[in-house]
Amino acid sequence: MLVRVFNDKVLDKRDFDAVVVGSGPNGLAAAITLQQAGLSVLLVEGKDTIGGGMRTAELTLPGFKHDICSAIHPLAAESPFFKTLPLADYGLKLIDPPVAAAHPFDTGRAAKLVTSLSETARELGIDEAAYRQLLEPVVRDWPKLAPAILGPLRIPRHPFAMARFGLDAINSASALVKRFRTPEARGLWAGMAAHSIQPLGNATTAAFGLLLLAVGHLRGWPLPQGGSQAIADAMTSHFKSLGGTVETGFYVKSLEQLPSARAVLLDVTPRQLLQIAGHKFSSLYRWQLERYRYGMGVFKIDWALDGPIPFTAPECREAGTVHLGGSFEEIAASEQQTSDGRHPERPFILLAQQSLFDPTRAPAGKHTAWAYCHVPNGSRVDRTEVIEKQVERFAPGFCERILARHTFDTAQMEDYNSNYIGGDINGGIQSVTQLFTRPALRASPYRTSAKGIYLCSSSTPPGGGVHGMCGYHAARQALQDVFKQPAPPLNSN
């Protein structure tokens, strides 16, 4: 029986083969992978509920369910690991909006991403051919590309397909946008690339745009019925069905708090890793972790609304996700200013309107909306007014529909989830120098310098997003090193 003694830093008196600390998508993925291999696994979570960034709560008014962090899940739908899990058996239902993402302009027009690549390209007019040329190879080659893109740096099994992708992906978004001539294509591209949470002139920002557009054409950008918590709940139920043990409400600050185990996997960023286990690491590894860079933060708002957002562009009224920022030039300038430590007057906004497609999110006739803008890391500036002005810019009358709002600045985001250092929701900037070498340059990014201790968070490849691949690869490494057995294959059900 587990015995929690918080002050004495003791969690239990029972041994496990492996202990996983942190229950975000990667911690859950690691725990499931290890449990599937027949090990006894303990999953420890500091909060009272499982989920990490996949939590849903009534933040504003009773009956209004808001996703606290992750909201829309294109990578979950195309994750090789998630495809192996019977999550539908545990109640998970993914809903696909008619329009995956829309991008409005001041003219009243909007570009849109829909599952059909042909339709998306056709709507871009004279940029149809350029869009097809850029995206068709990625969509066609996705089964060959996915294992390499969503994993650590290694020799790809399909080098020619990866080389074709890499020649475009290594570029900055600012370089690739030159292929487009219309404001619609250029703006759509800017919104996709801005998910990288870094200046669009940075190398590899094109990779983010390509990835998000491609998975949109492959599967769409779905949202989970009932909220993102549904993904965490389904993963937890599956883990328990395999015999796994879960302990919540226990915040780990030291390895001494944990029961003995042959392997410990931590779903944390380098800063917490140093606090928890730094004394066990080599001086070189500690030095590398101390130099790890965190990126821009976010300022987030959730709204309870009296009705749907009155977007001028009809495409936006059918979209699960809306990118607000206007032209490529405006978005690029906004992201650069934020990276430079400033707060632009017209920030790029990512907005989700889940209740349009999931009536469980709000009382009858009412709606929710979810949005954030990027801010300098650690910013405490209240961005409520500028965000709402940006929404009002493309949806006149929006502010009149607000019943209540809830905000998170960067400090509150970090308090909610200690992995969000300074409000950075990606576990560290995903720049060219930290894309595949996160958190340190090593043969395996998941191994630490201490035997039996592994990192399984988004601070390892492939980085941020709800896909579970960081956790899967870390567990696979632990299985190989410690338990001398292969990981379960990633063959979808």
Q: Which helix (H) or strand (E) holds 118?
A: helix 117-122
pLDDT over threshold 50, residue 359: yes
187-204 mean pLDDT:
97
Q: Which helix (H) or strand (E) holds 282?
A: none
Among 322, 314, 311, smallest CA distance to 395 is for: 311
Fold of 16-48+248-293+426-481: FAD/NAD(P)-binding domain (3.50.50)
The CATH 3.50.50.60 domain(s) of the chain lie at: 16-48+248-293+426-481
Give residue 490's pLDDT: 80
pLDDT over threshold 70, residue 492: no
The CATH 3.30.519.10 domain(s) of the chain lie at: 55-85+94-110+296-424
pLDDT over threshold 50, residue 96: yes
CB 182 within 8 A of CB 328: no
Q: What's the pTM?
A: 0.94
CB 326 within 8 A of CB 345: no
CATH 3.30.1540.10 fits domain 55-85+94-110+296-424: no
Q: What is the sign, positive or negative, of the torsion defined by CA atoms of 212, 214, 216, 222?
A: negative
Give residue 436's pLDDT: 77
Q: Which helix (H) or strand (E) holds 78?
A: helix 74-78
- Ordered strands of the 99-104 beta sheet: 110-113, 99-104, 319-324, 349-352, 367-375, 297-305, 402-408
**Chain segment 393-406, per-residue pLDDT in tens:** 999 999 999 999 99
SS (H, E, C) 304-321: EECCCCCCCCHHHHHEEE
Measure the CA–CA gap between 138 and 117, rounded to whole angstroms: 11
* pLDDT above 90 as % of the chain: 91
50-76 mean pLDDT:
96
Return phi, psi of residue 52, to 5°: 60, -120
